[in-house]
Structure 1
Protein backbone atom coordinates (compact mmCIF):
# COMPACT_ATOMS: atom_id res chain seq x y z
CA UNK A 1 0.00 0.00 0.00
CA UNK A 2 2.82 2.35 0.87
CA UNK A 3 4.75 1.62 -2.33
CA UNK A 4 1.65 2.04 -4.49
CA UNK A 5 0.83 5.35 -2.80
CA UNK A 6 4.41 6.53 -3.17
CA UNK A 7 4.30 5.80 -6.90
CA UNK A 8 0.91 7.52 -7.13
CA UNK A 9 2.24 10.57 -5.25
CA UNK A 10 -0.34 10.52 -2.48
CA UNK A 11 -2.29 8.10 -0.28
CA UNK A 12 -4.63 6.31 -2.66
CA UNK A 13 -6.60 4.01 -0.35
CA UNK A 14 -8.94 6.52 1.26
CA UNK A 15 -9.72 7.32 4.86
CA UNK A 16 -10.67 3.77 5.92
CA UNK A 17 -7.61 2.30 4.20
CA UNK A 18 -5.45 4.83 6.03
CA UNK A 19 -6.98 3.93 9.40
CA UNK A 20 -6.53 0.20 8.83
CA UNK A 21 -2.97 0.54 7.51
CA UNK A 22 -1.80 2.84 10.33
CA UNK A 23 -3.57 0.78 13.00
CA UNK A 24 -1.92 -2.43 11.80
CA UNK A 25 1.50 -0.76 11.66
CA UNK A 26 1.20 0.52 15.22
CA UNK A 27 -0.27 -2.80 16.36
CA UNK A 28 2.55 -4.97 14.97
CA UNK A 29 5.23 -2.53 16.13
CA UNK A 30 3.90 -2.49 19.69
CA UNK A 31 3.39 -6.28 19.67
CA UNK A 32 6.96 -6.79 18.51
CA UNK A 33 8.38 -4.63 21.29
CA UNK A 34 6.15 -6.34 23.86
CA UNK A 35 7.11 -9.83 22.73
CA UNK A 36 10.82 -8.94 22.73
CA UNK A 37 10.36 -7.82 26.32
CA UNK A 38 8.70 -11.13 27.19
CA UNK A 39 11.65 -13.01 25.65
CA UNK A 40 14.10 -10.90 27.69
CA UNK A 41 12.19 -11.66 30.89
CA UNK A 42 12.16 -15.36 30.03
CA UNK A 43 15.93 -15.40 29.43
CA UNK A 44 16.53 -13.51 32.67
CA UNK A 45 14.39 -15.88 34.73
CA UNK A 46 15.81 -18.99 33.09
CA UNK A 47 19.48 -17.99 33.35
CA UNK A 48 19.74 -15.61 36.30
CA UNK A 49 16.89 -16.74 38.52
CA UNK A 50 16.42 -20.46 37.83
CA UNK A 51 14.65 -20.84 41.19
CA UNK A 52 11.86 -18.62 39.83
CA UNK A 53 12.29 -19.73 36.21
CA UNK A 54 11.50 -23.34 37.08
CA UNK A 55 8.20 -22.29 38.65
CA UNK A 56 7.04 -20.35 35.57
CA UNK A 57 4.42 -22.40 33.76
CA UNK A 58 2.91 -22.33 30.29
CA UNK A 59 0.04 -20.40 31.83
CA UNK A 60 2.41 -17.64 32.98
CA UNK A 61 4.04 -17.43 29.55
CA UNK A 62 0.64 -17.38 27.84
CA UNK A 63 -0.45 -14.56 30.16
CA UNK A 64 2.67 -12.51 29.33
CA UNK A 65 2.19 -13.07 25.59
CA UNK A 66 -1.51 -12.19 25.77
CA UNK A 67 -0.63 -9.06 27.79
CA UNK A 68 1.83 -8.01 25.06
CA UNK A 69 -0.83 -8.49 22.36
CA UNK A 70 -3.53 -6.69 24.37
CA UNK A 71 -1.16 -3.81 25.00
CA UNK A 72 -0.60 -3.57 21.23
CA UNK A 73 -4.36 -3.65 20.57
CA UNK A 74 -4.95 -0.89 23.11
CA UNK A 75 -2.34 1.50 21.71
CA UNK A 76 -3.25 0.87 18.07
CA UNK A 77 -6.98 1.42 18.65
CA UNK A 78 -6.63 4.63 20.70
CA UNK A 79 -6.15 6.93 17.67
CA UNK A 80 -9.24 5.42 16.05
CA UNK A 81 -11.38 6.16 19.11
CA UNK A 82 -10.08 9.71 19.50
CA UNK A 83 -6.85 9.80 21.48
CA UNK A 84 -4.64 11.30 18.74
CA UNK A 85 -5.50 10.31 15.15
CA UNK A 86 -4.21 8.57 12.05
CA UNK A 87 -3.62 10.43 8.78
CA UNK A 88 -1.37 10.28 5.72
CA UNK A 89 2.14 11.42 6.53
CA UNK A 90 3.44 14.65 4.95
CA UNK A 91 4.90 12.76 1.96
CA UNK A 92 1.56 11.05 1.33
CA UNK A 93 3.28 7.69 0.91
CA UNK A 94 2.01 6.08 4.09
CA UNK A 95 -0.41 6.55 6.96
CA UNK A 96 0.63 6.91 10.58
CA UNK A 97 -0.03 9.03 13.65
CA UNK A 98 -1.13 12.49 12.52
CA UNK A 99 2.12 14.40 13.08
CA UNK A 100 0.64 17.64 11.70
CA UNK A 101 -2.05 17.87 14.39
CA UNK A 102 0.16 18.93 17.28
CA UNK A 103 -2.57 19.28 19.92
CA UNK A 104 -2.83 18.06 23.53
CA UNK A 105 -4.30 14.73 22.40
CA UNK A 106 -1.39 14.05 20.04
CA UNK A 107 1.29 15.12 22.55
CA UNK A 108 -0.20 13.14 25.44
CA UNK A 109 -0.66 10.02 23.28
CA UNK A 110 2.84 10.24 21.84
CA UNK A 111 4.56 10.87 25.17
CA UNK A 112 2.63 8.05 26.85
CA UNK A 113 3.39 5.61 24.02
CA UNK A 114 7.09 6.52 24.17
CA UNK A 115 7.17 5.98 27.94
CA UNK A 116 5.07 2.80 28.09
CA UNK A 117 6.16 1.12 24.86
CA UNK A 118 9.74 2.28 24.47
CA UNK A 119 11.35 3.54 27.68
CA UNK A 120 9.91 0.89 30.03
CA UNK A 121 10.57 -2.07 27.69
CA UNK A 122 14.05 -0.74 26.94
CA UNK A 123 14.86 -0.53 30.65
CA UNK A 124 13.44 -4.02 31.30
CA UNK A 125 15.39 -5.52 28.38
CA UNK A 126 18.57 -3.72 29.39
CA UNK A 127 18.25 -4.97 32.97
CA UNK A 128 17.50 -8.53 31.88
CA UNK A 129 20.23 -8.84 29.28
CA UNK A 130 22.80 -7.03 31.39
CA UNK A 131 22.22 -9.54 34.19
CA UNK A 132 22.23 -12.45 31.73
CA UNK A 133 25.59 -11.19 30.45
CA UNK A 134 27.03 -10.92 33.97
CA UNK A 135 25.73 -14.37 34.88
CA UNK A 136 27.14 -15.94 31.72
CA UNK A 137 30.54 -14.33 32.33
CA UNK A 138 30.48 -15.96 35.76
CA UNK A 139 29.95 -19.36 34.14
CA UNK A 140 32.79 -18.73 31.73
CA UNK A 141 35.32 -17.78 34.42
CA UNK A 142 36.13 -21.41 35.05
CA UNK A 143 35.10 -21.47 38.69
CA UNK A 144 31.87 -23.33 37.90
CA UNK A 145 29.62 -20.94 39.78
CA UNK A 146 27.64 -18.10 38.26
CA UNK A 147 27.78 -14.55 39.47
CA UNK A 148 24.65 -13.51 41.30
CA UNK A 149 22.40 -11.01 39.59
Structure 2
Protein backbone atom coordinates (compact mmCIF):
# COMPACT_ATOMS: atom_id res chain seq x y z
CA UNK A 1 0.00 0.00 0.00
CA UNK A 2 1.45 3.41 -0.95
CA UNK A 3 2.44 5.96 1.68
CA UNK A 4 1.08 9.43 0.96
CA UNK A 5 1.54 12.87 2.49
CA UNK A 6 -0.63 15.76 1.26
CA UNK A 7 -0.72 19.34 2.46
CA UNK A 8 -1.82 22.75 1.22
CA UNK A 9 -0.20 26.15 1.41
CA UNK A 10 -1.58 29.58 0.52
CA UNK A 11 -0.55 30.95 -2.87
CA UNK A 12 2.06 33.27 -1.42
CA UNK A 13 5.82 33.23 -1.96
CA UNK A 14 6.43 33.47 1.77
CA UNK A 15 4.92 29.98 2.17
CA UNK A 16 7.36 28.24 -0.20
CA UNK A 17 9.89 27.60 2.63
CA UNK A 18 7.08 25.99 4.66
CA UNK A 19 6.40 23.62 1.78
CA UNK A 20 10.12 22.75 1.58
CA UNK A 21 10.24 22.02 5.32
CA UNK A 22 7.16 19.80 5.19
CA UNK A 23 8.57 17.89 2.22
CA UNK A 24 11.91 17.37 3.97
CA UNK A 25 10.11 16.08 7.07
CA UNK A 26 7.94 13.65 5.11
CA UNK A 27 10.98 12.32 3.24
CA UNK A 28 12.95 11.91 6.48
CA UNK A 29 9.98 10.13 8.09
CA UNK A 30 10.10 7.64 5.21
CA UNK A 31 13.88 7.25 5.50
CA UNK A 32 14.59 9.08 2.24
CA UNK A 33 17.74 11.14 2.69
CA UNK A 34 20.85 12.24 0.84
CA UNK A 35 20.92 13.11 -2.85
CA UNK A 36 17.42 11.79 -3.52
CA UNK A 37 15.91 13.91 -0.74
CA UNK A 38 17.83 16.92 -2.08
CA UNK A 39 16.57 16.29 -5.64
CA UNK A 40 12.94 15.89 -4.53
CA UNK A 41 13.10 18.95 -2.27
CA UNK A 42 14.69 21.14 -4.95
CA UNK A 43 12.16 19.95 -7.55
CA UNK A 44 9.31 20.63 -5.15
CA UNK A 45 10.70 24.09 -4.46
CA UNK A 46 10.70 24.86 -8.19
CA UNK A 47 7.20 23.48 -8.81
CA UNK A 48 5.69 25.20 -5.77
CA UNK A 49 7.40 28.47 -6.69
CA UNK A 50 5.97 28.19 -10.22
CA UNK A 51 2.50 27.51 -8.83
CA UNK A 52 2.51 30.48 -6.48
CA UNK A 53 4.11 32.76 -9.11
CA UNK A 54 1.98 31.90 -12.12
CA UNK A 55 -1.45 30.89 -10.82
CA UNK A 56 -3.88 33.67 -11.73
CA UNK A 57 -6.68 32.50 -9.43
CA UNK A 58 -7.24 34.88 -6.51
CA UNK A 59 -7.03 33.42 -2.99
CA UNK A 60 -5.85 30.10 -4.39
CA UNK A 61 -4.15 27.37 -2.47
CA UNK A 62 -1.40 25.10 -3.72
CA UNK A 63 -1.63 21.41 -2.92
CA UNK A 64 1.50 19.26 -2.58
CA UNK A 65 1.32 15.47 -2.53
CA UNK A 66 4.18 13.04 -2.04
CA UNK A 67 3.53 9.35 -2.64
CA UNK A 68 5.91 6.44 -2.17
CA UNK A 69 4.62 3.45 -4.07
CA UNK A 70 6.98 0.51 -4.39
CA UNK A 71 10.16 1.59 -6.17
CA UNK A 72 8.96 5.13 -6.98
CA UNK A 73 8.29 8.45 -5.32
CA UNK A 74 5.78 10.76 -6.97
CA UNK A 75 5.72 14.51 -6.28
CA UNK A 76 2.57 16.36 -7.37
CA UNK A 77 1.94 20.11 -7.14
CA UNK A 78 -1.57 21.31 -8.02
CA UNK A 79 -3.19 24.71 -8.34
CA UNK A 80 -6.61 25.88 -9.59
CA UNK A 81 -5.35 27.70 -12.71
CA UNK A 82 -6.05 24.66 -14.90
CA UNK A 83 -5.53 26.39 -18.26
CA UNK A 84 -2.10 27.87 -17.57
CA UNK A 85 0.11 24.89 -18.34
CA UNK A 86 3.86 24.72 -17.75
CA UNK A 87 6.06 25.38 -20.76
CA UNK A 88 9.81 24.87 -20.56
CA UNK A 89 11.87 27.46 -22.38
CA UNK A 90 15.50 28.28 -22.90
CA UNK A 91 16.67 31.03 -20.60
CA UNK A 92 19.46 33.34 -21.63
CA UNK A 93 22.60 33.48 -19.50
CA UNK A 94 21.58 36.82 -17.97
CA UNK A 95 17.98 35.86 -17.16
CA UNK A 96 17.22 35.33 -13.49
CA UNK A 97 14.12 33.18 -14.02
CA UNK A 98 12.92 30.43 -16.31
CA UNK A 99 15.13 27.50 -15.39
CA UNK A 100 12.83 25.71 -12.93
CA UNK A 101 11.36 23.12 -15.28
CA UNK A 102 14.78 22.41 -16.80
CA UNK A 103 16.04 21.77 -13.29
CA UNK A 104 13.12 19.44 -12.54
CA UNK A 105 13.81 17.59 -15.80
CA UNK A 106 17.46 17.16 -14.82
CA UNK A 107 16.65 15.89 -11.32
CA UNK A 108 13.58 13.71 -11.88
CA UNK A 109 13.28 10.46 -13.81
CA UNK A 110 10.20 11.82 -15.56
CA UNK A 111 7.91 14.81 -15.23
CA UNK A 112 4.74 16.11 -16.81
CA UNK A 113 1.39 17.70 -16.14
CA UNK A 114 -2.28 16.92 -16.37
CA UNK A 115 -5.43 19.01 -16.46
CA UNK A 116 -8.21 18.02 -14.12
CA UNK A 117 -11.73 19.48 -14.06
CA UNK A 118 -10.86 22.34 -11.68
CA UNK A 119 -7.08 22.37 -11.48
CA UNK A 120 -3.81 21.38 -13.08
CA UNK A 121 -1.19 19.13 -11.58
CA UNK A 122 2.52 19.23 -12.40
CA UNK A 123 4.29 16.08 -11.30
CA UNK A 124 7.76 14.60 -11.08
CA UNK A 125 8.60 10.93 -10.62
CA UNK A 126 11.74 9.67 -8.87
CA UNK A 127 13.04 6.10 -8.73
CA UNK A 128 14.10 5.06 -5.27
CA UNK A 129 17.07 3.22 -6.82
CA UNK A 130 19.26 3.66 -9.99
CA UNK A 131 17.71 6.32 -12.22
CA UNK A 132 17.90 7.65 -15.77
CA UNK A 133 16.74 11.28 -15.60
CA UNK A 134 14.76 13.90 -17.45
CA UNK A 135 12.05 12.23 -19.53
CA UNK A 136 9.04 14.43 -20.19
CA UNK A 137 5.80 12.49 -20.28
CA UNK A 138 2.93 14.27 -22.05
CA UNK A 139 -0.33 14.98 -20.25
CA UNK A 140 -2.58 11.99 -19.85
CA UNK A 141 0.29 9.52 -19.53
Same structural fold, with TM-score higher than 0.5 when normalized by the shorter chain: no
Give the TM-score taking structure 1 as reference length.
0.32
The structure where strand makes up a greater share of residues is 2
Structure with more contact order per residue of length (Cα contacts < 8 Å, sep ≥ 6): 1
Give the TM-score taking structure 2 as reference length.
0.33
The structure where helix makes up a greater share of residues is 1
